[in-house]
Amino acid sequence: MGYGTPKLLGRMVTRSAAIAGVVSALFGATPTLAGTYDLTIGETTINVSGTEQTALGINGQVPGPTLRFKEGEELVINVTNTLKEDSSIHWHGLILPYTEDGVPGISFDGIKPGATHTYRFTARQSGTYWYHSHSGLQEQSGVYGSIAIEPKGREPFRYDREYVVVLSDWHDTKPEKILANLKKQSDYYNYNQRTLLSFFDEAGQRGFGAALADRLNWGEMRMTPTDIADISGYTFLVNGKNPEQNWTGLFEPGERVRLRFINAAAMSYFDVRIPGLKMTVVKADGNNVQPVKVDEFRIAVAETYDVIVRPTEDQAYSIVAEPMARTGMARGTLAPREGMAAAVPAGRDRPQLTMADMGHGSMAGMDHSQMGGQMQDMSEPAAEDDQMAGMDHSAMSQDSMAGMDHSAMSQDSMAGMDHSAMNQDSMAGMDHSAMAGKAMPRQDPFYAPGSGLVPRAENGGKFLSYADLKAQKPLYEEREPTREIEIRLTGNMERYFWSINDEKYSEAEPIRLKYGERVRFKFVNETMMSHPMHLHGMWTILDNGNGANNPIKHTVSIAPGTTVLAEVEVDAPGQWAFHCHLMYHMATGMFRKIIVEGGPQTASLE
């Protein structure tokens, strides 16, 4: 069954559009659409991993129903909580009053067991968005769904039919137990540790000395190059179906098919491709962008991308979404008829971190935000931890680094260290084996050079970069920011907590902004992981070098070892959540409250 336009699943609607039309005819007024939607959060049973499991769903399904609105529609959404614990729904990416944002402790008190909460707001935008619980770890258990909002006018692109494609990750272990395991042992779910046998393989490829130096370097940092994702053991889903269940969307050859991709995973970035089809990206995070043709794109947790494909052959095509750590695959199908399936490509080799991903690269930590306009066709991802950028590695010995806790290192603590003395010896142990016999790929400015996580499309194809995104029409006038706020992404992997500017949410003061100002956020990633940073209630203008056409987003991924600039037009009074959208990172402290002072209806804010 498709999540396409003809089949709106689980939607219970009462509209007053007909009445509004009568009023318009009688009095000449412009009718306002109004809709009432009913959602129920409760337990349900799913089987995506081979055994039946209890999940938390919406209207008895995972994911929840696709909610379809029209821009300008006055919405009334009744959410009933049948769980034995508090719950909530947050409308991810929607611009609305802060009191309707759905974050317990910030915008409201949450929905008590057995209670119904009514959200009321206007659909002020169009595009692809999603909704999910903001209570505890319920999102991982299935409390999420998709939103498609039709624009008032015509889209700046054509399509004949559309499908929502929700990507997600499911784990049979309860999320509370997962978090407890991570707190007890941070590499609990790292099922790909290096072994003695793999050491001999590396020694055969690179030489004994280089392989040994590499092992010692990683050992001194108490890390391994396979520490790409916090959690393994996920089953990856397309619209709630595993690869064998094979969600399928139908098409007629020659049609333009719009695919609304949503990453509703708790912890998994996906690399998405449709072998045999080019994809034209037309929207990013719900906003129109100038079309760009790609073979593959990486979608961070919580991001959305709309793409157009045009299959001309009478054959099936596989939608393939591999997690960044290559620990499995989500798979769906586009086909002319039910029951058809295409070949599913083999999973690709698991990437490994390099010293650049740990901040040891000669360019790690540099500010890439101004390079976008010069590097439009350059595609690559993640490097990690600029916390050690600037160090003079040439003088380091095993003894000098023994027992160091690198997770706590910050820019301030290491400022001014000399890179000039770096030489071949100082970089011994870096894994260059993947480069053997290959031309160096052009560098994506949003990833640290030398990263082992750089995405590459098959057969030299085009991989989408943030640098490719240009707004179709600027939402805001270009102007200088009134001030800059540095947001250092920090944490301690061994103790498994995550933070902003070395402070967990429970220890930190809110970030205070002034209504009407324009603030530049300087994101500095000092950890060994990518972080999708999400600001509620206001758009984030990503500085990718395209000036007035810089794209606007609701979620910005910050790769390790990089500094990214983004600006916010502070136009939404109230108090808002601001956090990493990796669920276990948010839950352990990479979260802030933002208070917008001034403007209407903020006098009562604390």
> What phi and psi, each to the nearest 5 degrees, are found at residue 198?
-65, -30
Over range 512-537, report the average pLDDT.
Answer: 96
Residue-level pLDDT at 226:
60
Asked if pLDDT for residue 5 goes beyond 70, the answer is no
Please check whether residues 569 and 603 belong to one and the same domain: yes
Residue-level pLDDT at 294:
98
Please check whether residues 251 and 382 belong to one and the same domain: no
> Which residues, 6 or more positions from 589, have their beta carbon under 8 angstroms from its beta carbon?
491, 497, 498, 499, 500, 503, 504, 505, 506
> What phi and psi, each to the nearest 5 degrees, are found at residue 232?
-115, 175
User: Does residue 605 fall inside a structural domain?
Assistant: yes
Strand partners, 603: none
Residue-level pLDDT at 589:
97
Asked if pLDDT for residue 419 goes beyond 90, the answer is no
Strand partners, 281: 292, 307
Residue-level pLDDT at 441:
53
Mind listing the pLDDT tens digit for each residue in 356-414? Answer: 666 654 333 334 444 433 333 333 333 333 333 333 333 333 333 333 343 333 333 33
Please check whether residues 145 and 184 belong to one and the same domain: no
Please check whether residues 445 and 383 belong to one and the same domain: yes
The mean-pLDDT minimum among 348-357, 396-405, 531-540 falls in 396-405
Please check whether residues 161 and 89 belong to one and the same domain: no
User: Does residue 381 fall inside a structural domain?
Assistant: yes
Residue-level pLDDT at 442:
67
Over pLDDT 70: what percentage of the chain? Answer: 72
> Tell me, what DSSP letter sits at residue 81?
E
Mean pLDDT of the chain: 82
| pLDDT band at residue 202 under the 50/70/90 scheme | low
Among candidate residues 3, 548, 530, 566, the one with its CA nearest the CA of residue 267 = 530
Residue-level pLDDT at 602:
52
User: Does residue 204 fall inside a structural domain?
Assistant: no
Please check whether residues 424 and 301 belong to one and the same domain: no
Please check whether residues 398 and 541 belong to one and the same domain: yes
Over pLDDT 90: what percentage of the chain? Answer: 66
Given 97, 127, 154, the domain boundary residue is 154
Asked if pLDDT for residue 206 goes beyond 70, the answer is no
The CATH number given to whatever domain includes residue 267 is 2.60.40.420
Given 127, 154, 181, the domain boundary residue is 154
What is d(CA 323, CA 330) in angstroms, rounded to the nearest whole number? 8
Asked if pLDDT for residue 418 goes beyond 50, the answer is no
Residue-level pLDDT at 204:
63
Residue-level pLDDT at 27:
38
Mind listing the pLDDT tens digit for each residue in 582-599? Answer: 999 999 999 999 999 998
Asked if pLDDT for residue 534 goes beyond 70, the answer is yes
User: Does residue 216 fall inside a structural domain?
Assistant: no
The domain containing residue 18 runs over which residues? Answer: 13-154
What is d(CA 542, CA 96) in angstroms, rounded to the nearest whole number? 21
What is d(CA 119, CA 390) in angstroms, rounded to the nearest whole number? 50
Given 106, 127, 154, the domain boundary residue is 154
Mind listing the pLDDT tens digit for each residue in 420-457? Answer: 333 333 333 344 344 434 444 568 999 988 876 778 89
- Residue 361, Cβ neighbours under 10 Å: how many? 24
Asked if pLDDT for residue 101 goes beyond 90, the answer is yes
Residue-level pLDDT at 451:
76
User: Does residue 207 fall inside a structural domain?
Assistant: no
pTM: 0.81
Q: Are 467 and 454 in contact (CB under 8 A)?
A: no
Please check whether residues 453 and 538 belong to one and the same domain: yes
Residue-level pLDDT at 192:
56
Asked if pLDDT for residue 30 goes beyond 70, the answer is no
Total domains present in the chain:
3
User: Does residue 253 fall inside a structural domain?
Assistant: yes
User: Does residue 106 fall inside a structural domain?
Assistant: yes
Please check whether residues 252 and 295 belong to one and the same domain: yes
Among candidate residues 166, 169, 213, the one with its CA nearest the CA of residue 189 = 169
Please check whether residues 591 and 544 belong to one and the same domain: yes
Query: What is the DSSP annotation of 353-374?
Result: --GGGGT-STTTT-B-TT-GGG
Please check whether residues 284 and 360 belong to one and the same domain: no
Please check whether residues 357 and 269 belong to one and the same domain: no
